[in-house]
Chains A and B, each alone.
Chain A
């Protein structure tokens, strides 16, 4: 049974803005399908009475006081920016790809 198809991978690649050629799509879908198949046995587990787990630790309400802490300087903030202008991050035209 195929769980992950080539088209699903193509769709995910598009959502993630990752360019993949036909060979990559084929190999990736087959690899992902293998992984899903390997863990498929968990779907046989009786989980009707088990609430979904969203976090491995049994913690809740980890809150922070609303107090201002240290911030980065503008120079520090832009230190790793590929491009910057007027203290701001400079990014390529957003609608260029359309």
Chain B
């Protein structure tokens, strides 16, 4: 309890210092509201094409069976993974995002991207890691952000940042045509990706009415309007249907 108090005190001091330093009023989102939910999947689960990694024995060895593409990943509990859920609009005009803490890592492992879908703040560093130690190139095909295409022929980390909000910046490797990832560049930290249980959580929202968008690479987008006040938790579920 004492420790917690000390942490809280330190946190407050830091927050105040930061607020004083940036000449911003204290942020309302500390504490703040939460929006969470699940992304359900209805209909027929499409069969994902198998990836032939014969050309890359190092990657092939990382799988027991034959790896498949990750365009549609339906979880065992019938939910849909890799759905990017974020606040599309509704933040007050005066809102400014906190300075990014830490980097976001995108790993190339087993000739696939981990994670397959990810979010990043404007100005935050994306650390692009090659854990395979074989030739990859990483190409970002932004439209609002400048694109780039860099070679990574060995175990290494390259860093890049993004200047403008954009959902999504497609990332790809041209050596391995099956490798795709999706990067959302946002001006705020209110986003999440549905995981292995299909759930997502957006935390620390200032009070307000938000348009929440759920984005999936194959099934497109859905939106929901959610109002949060104080530190309450609201639920927003989405459902995508296989065709």
A binds B: no
A residues contacting B by CB (< 8 A) are: none
B residues contacting A by CB (< 8 A) are: none
